[in-house]
Amino acid sequence: MSFNRIDIDRWGRKPYFEHYMKESKCTYSITVNLNITTLLNMIRNKNVKLYPVFIYMVSRVINLYTEFRTSFNDKRQLGYWDEMSPSYTIFHKEDHTFSVTWTDYSNDFSLFYKRYLRDLEQFGNKKGLWSRGELPANTFSISFLPWVSFTGFNLNLYNDAEYLLPIITGGKYFSVGEEVFLPVSLQVHHAVCDGYHVSIFVNDLQKLVDSCEEWLI
């Protein structure tokens, strides 16, 4: 997958990038509750799993915007990937550990779901932090905490604030009256993402949930 270098001197975001990478290194997170009432009913009717559906929706939004695909490559060059695939955690019930694997992204849900099931069958029972070996460079991180609902979630990365890609965490869904909500946390680096971009992510994710009958086939 192609990595497109950014010419910082011609980049409109240069002053913001340099400020939040040098003077005020800053990552931040936001947690929202997605209304998944319709989606959950659809999932049950289709007999599919929530976790890969969640991974797909997040991946689809990430791939719409370069701000969420901007990072350093292995030569520490700044740029953005044409497309990114999700890396995600798989929980091992027998010893309460987890492993990280990934699935190649496709905008077509049915194809992505087939790939997910294939990868889960091949790598789901493999122990160790990295069940599939080294992650491709064009992956971003998703995890899920199905045991607890939360109102806030924050990761503290001690890497000199140079990890620019988003990190997404889902929690245990809960009911309020007849509606069902899923807590979702998004963590980003302020050097590449402002509040506007976070708002786009949240709103687009909710739109995908609301339009699930159009793509969850």
User: How many domains does the chain contain in total?
Assistant: 1
* Per-residue pLDDT at 210: 97
Kindly list the distances between the CA atom of residue 125 and the CA atoms of 18, 34, 134, 143, 183, in Å, as whole numbers in the listed order: 43, 30, 17, 17, 27
For residue 186, is it within any domain?
yes
Tokens in use for 147? 């045991």
**Amino acid occupying residue 25:** K
For residue 1, is it within any domain?
no
* Per-residue pLDDT at 133: 86
pLDDT per residue, tens digit, the chain (217 aa), is: 799 999 999 999 999 999 999 999 999 999 999 999 999 999 999 999 999 999 999 999 999 999 999 999 999 999 999 999 999 999 999 999 999 999 999 999 999 999 999 999 999 999 999 999 889 999 999 999 999 999 999 888 776 678 999 999 999 999 999 999 999 999 999 999 999 999 999 999 999 999 999 999 8
Q: What is the pLDDT of residues 109-142, one digit of tens each?
A: 999 999 999 999 999 999 999 999 889 999 999 9
* Per-residue pLDDT at 1: 74
* Per-residue pLDDT at 155: 85
For residue 178, is it within any domain?
yes
Range of 163's domain? 29-211
Tokens in use for 192? 């590449």
For residue 20, is it within any domain?
no
Specify the CATH number for the domain of residue 102.
3.30.559.10
For residue 50, is it within any domain?
yes
Q: Which of 19, 189, 190, 197 is catalytic?
A: 190
Contact call for residues 67 and 47 (beta carbons, < 8 A)? no
Instruction: Give the number of other Cβ atoms within 10 Å of residue 81's Cβ.
Output: 24
Q: Scanning the structure block, which residue is given the tokens 């955690």?
A: 89
**Angstrom distance (rounded) from CA 122 to CA 102:** 11
First-to-last C-alpha distance (Å) of the chain: 27
Q: Any idea what the Cα angle at residue 36 is, between residues 67 and 58, rounded to 5°?
A: 25
Q: What is the pLDDT of residues 16-35, one digit of tens each?
A: 999 999 999 999 999 999 99
For residue 148, is it within any domain?
yes
For residue 9, is it within any domain?
no
Question: Is the pTM here over 0.85, yes or no?
Answer: yes
Contact call for residues 206 and 198 (beta carbons, < 8 A)? no
Active site annotation includes 190: yes
Give me the DSSP letters along the chain. --EEE--GGG-TTHHHHHIIIIIS--EEEEEEEEE-HHHHHHHHHHT--HHHHHHHHHHHHHTT-GGGGEEE-TT--EEEES--EEEEEEEETTTTEEEEEE----SSHHHHHHHHHHHHHHHTT--SSBTTSSPPTTEEEEEEETT---S-------STT---S-EEEEE--EEETTEEEEEEEEEEETTT--HHHHHHHHHHHHHHHHTHHHH--
Q: Scanning the structure block, which residue is given the tokens 């990295």?
A: 130
